[in-house]
Amino acid sequence: MLPAVLKLCCGISYPHVRSMAGLQRAALAVFGQEFRLLQNRFSFPARSSIRHTHRSAALADEDDVFYQKQGEAALNEALQIVENRDGWTLETAEKNGDVIYSKVLTGNRKVFRLEADLDATADELHDILFFRVEEMHEWNPSIRRITVLKHVGGNTLVTHEVSAETAGNLIGQRDFLSVRHSSKSESCVYLGGAATRFESLPPQPGFVRAEDGPTCIILQPLQDAPHRSRFTWLLNMDVKGWLPQSLVNKALPRAQVDFTKHLRRRLAENNSR
């Protein structure tokens, strides 16, 4: 009941929100976030897992096939978005040559494509970004923790990702439940991902469950420098909650720039070891 009433209030005030000044909007955003957390608390936990305690092996295999297919589909969809060269606009160009392009997809979702050249081979990056994904919080302060919940074959994972608190905490902590899939062709490595479901991990109280994907990373050796790679990352994220779109559209490319900065530091450490 309470969430319904709050939702109604937010709905009524929406036209006013559009005409608000920045600071007021930010304050409202934080309120919205709180509201969302409250809502989570109301709808949690309810779900029982008793039904699943006597699962047969056949059912487990069915799950494996489901995640495998979902991972592959996410990668393919994301690659199609990246490979379609129409409609991208330059968002930022960093001094070091990194660029971010953005594009608005049908349904009004804004996605970001970062391109950066890194001092590592595609295999090294595959290792850091996929096989050792649970170590990511050690070198990336934007991430609180990543847990692999399930391995399917050698190339598909179900992961739970928790973002770190941000300075000022304007965008509150998010958690993601994703399927991650990797594939290799000739010399390129492709990493794909998308939001998924996992019975024993419904949205957590205190977190906003965001949705990642379909998203992908392409790791491609540079022709004139085989020990370096072109890193192409499609960020396609629904951060959920009640944040103003303008704030989100600024935070996302910034998150990409930060991610790349920390990844470079991680690689430099590797190279000096």
Q: Which of 76, 92, 121, 142 binds ligand CLR (CB under 6 A)?
A: 142
Residues 6+ apart with CB under 8 A from 255: 142, 235
Instruction: Give the type of residue at 85.
Output: R
Enter the tokens of residue 3: 């969430």
Residue 163 found at the interface with ligand CLR (CB under 6 A):
yes
- Residues 112-131, one symbol each (x = binds ligand CLR by CB under 6 A, - = not), give -----------------xx-
Q: Which of 29, 74, 114, 217 binds ligand CLR (CB under 6 A)?
A: 217
Residue span binding ligand CLR (CB under 6 A) among the ranges 4-12, 78-86, 105-113, 139-147: 139-147
**Residue among 91 and 212 whose Cβ is closer to ligand CLR:** 212
**Residue among 16 and 254 whose Cβ is closer to ligand CLR:** 254
**Residue among 39 and 163 whose Cβ is closer to ligand CLR:** 163
- Residues 167-186, one symbol each (x = binds ligand CLR by CB under 6 A, - = not), give ----x--x-x---x------
**Residue among 28 and 216 whose Cβ is closer to ligand CLR:** 216
Query: Which residues within the stretch 224-263 sit at the binding site for ligand CLR (CB under 6 A)?
Result: 239, 251-252, 255, 259
Q: How many helices (H) and strands (E) does the chain have?
A: 6, 12
CA distance 193 to 204: 21
Query: Which residues within the stretch 10-49 sit at the binding site for ligand CLR (CB under 6 A)?
Result: none
User: Within 10 Å of residue 125's Cβ, how many Cβ atoms?
Assistant: 19
To ligand CLR, the closest distance from the beta carbon of 69 in angstroms equals: 19
Residue with tokens 């050796």, as numbered in its chain: 221
Q: Which of 122, 191, 194, 218 binds ligand CLR (CB under 6 A)?
A: 191
Residues 6+ apart with CB under 8 A from 35: 3, 6, 10, 242
Strand locations in 79-154 (E): 89-93, 99-104, 110-118, 143-152
Instruction: Give the type of residue at 150.
Output: K
The bridge status of strand 208-209 relative to strand 174-185 is: parallel
* DSSP structural state of residue 131: I
Instruction: Give the type of residue at 234.
Output: L
Please give the residue ranges that form the binding site for ligand CLR (CB under 6 A): 129-130, 133, 142-143, 146, 161, 163, 171, 174, 176, 180, 191, 193, 212, 217, 239, 251-252, 255, 259
